[in-house]
Amino acid sequence: MNRKLQMLAIALGLSAPLLATAQSSSTQGLTREQVRQEMVEYKAAGFNPARMNPRTWVDDAQSALTKVTTARTAQTSNQFAVNKSEDASQCN
Per-position DSSP letters for the chain, written without gaps between them: -HHHHHHHHHHHHHHHHHHHHHHHHHHTS--HHHHHHHHHHHHHTT--GGG--TTTHHHHHHHHHHHHHHHHHHHHHHHHHHHHHHHHHHH-
pTM of the complete model beyond 0.75 = no
pLDDT (tens digit per residue) in 39-51:
999 999 888 878 7
pLDDT (tens digit per residue) in 52-69? 677 888 888 889 999 999
